[in-house]
Structure 1
C-alpha cells in the first residue's frame, strides 16, 4: 500500500441516528446445525459498526445473509426500512449495498483503472447497440466514467498504477483497488469482510486510514473482522459467539467484558 496521511476520526455520532441496516431475529442453520440464533443489531446511518467472533462463531454466515449470498431461515434484513428478503445480490447492489471480500475479488488481467471503472456500471446510460457503434454519446459517457475512475484512483494513491495489471499488485494494493471500486459506486452501505486478512502491520494501519476517510465522507460501514486492533475504529462492536450476540458496545468495553474475555481471549 502507498502511505497515506494520518486522518482524524470525526467526533462520535449520536446513537439515535436513523438505521441504514437492521437485522431482526436472524436465524440460520445448515442441516440440523444451528449457526445463528435470534441475531438482532442495527448499523445506524453514518457509523462504523463492527462484528467480531472467532472461527465458527457465525459472523461469515451473518455477513453473507446481509449481502444476499444466503437467505436466512428466519428473521428480516432491512435496508433503510426496506425488506431485502426477496432481493438478489444484484438488486441489493442497485439499492446501494456493496461488499468486499476476505480475499480481494479483482479482475486480475484487467488494469487498475479498468477494475475501478467496473464499479461505475450503474452509471452507464447507453444501450448495447449504441455502445457497439461507439456513437458520440457513448464516447462522451465513456470519457466521463474514465475521468471519475481516474479521480478515485488518485484519491486512493493509485494514480501511478492506472495501467498496471491488477493481478500483479501486492495484496495490500489489490485491497485498495477493491475499496476504490466500491467507493465510485457510492454505496449507501459498505460491507467489509475481513479487510485486514493477509496484511502486515503497516498495511493494516494504512487500511484503517482508508476506512476512516470513507466514513468521514459519510459512508456507513459494517466491518466484519477478527482483528481487535482494527475494530477500535468502529463506533459500536457486536461480539458473536456460537451464533448469538453476547456483548455490544465500544471496543474498549467489549474487550473488558468478562464473557468476551472468556470466549475470545481465554479469560
Structure 2
C-alpha cells in the first residue's frame, strides 16, 4: 500500500492535520497567529543549517523552529511590542533563511519545495518522521490539556490553582516547533501557519466545548488534505496551496453559516 505515492501523500497529510488541529485551537484561543508565522518562517533557516552541516532536514528545522519559538516567547513584551517583535522575527527569519540557502556552496536547492511543500514526494522514511512527530505533539497536548486550557483562559486563576502558565507556554512552544518540523514536507514554510489556523477557525462557530473544537478541526484538516490532493490531480495545481485553498473555502462556508446557526 505504501508503494503508491498518492497513498503516502494522503497519510502524510492526515498525520500533519491530526497534529496541527488541536495545536491550532490553542493558537486561535491565544491569538498567536503571528507567533505561528514566525516559527514556520524560521523553518527555511533550519533547512540551510541542515544542508550546511549534512544533517537530516527534519533535525535542522526542529532545532531552529524551537530556538525561534523560545526567543519570541522570551522577548515578547520586554523591549518592543509583541506585534512588532513577531513581525520582525517572522519576515527576518524568512529572509535570512532564503539568503542562507542561496549561499550554500555546491548545493542546488529547490526552494519552492520548502516554501510550498512537496507532499507528493513523501517517502516511507518521511512518513515515519511525520507520524512520529505528530504522535509526540498529540501526546504532549493530551498530557497537559487541562493545564493548557487553564493557562489559556485565565493565567491568574491557573497560577492560583497550582498551574505554571510559563511552563504551559513552553510545552505549547515545543509542540508548535515539532509540528512545524513535520509539516514542512507537506505544505511548506509559507503555508504551515495556514494549516494550523484555518481548520481551527473554521471549527470554532460549531463548537460548544474545547474538545469538540479540537476534534472538528482535526476533521476539517483531514478533509482539506484529501480535498486538496484531489483538486491538485483534477486541475493540475500545486498540492500544498490546493490543500490550504480547500481549507479556506471550508472556513468561508462555516463563517457564512455561523450567523444562521446563531439565529
TM-score by length of 1: 0.23
Name the structure with the higher helix share. 2
Name the structure with the higher strand share. 1
TM-score by length of 2: 0.23
Larger radius of gyration: 1
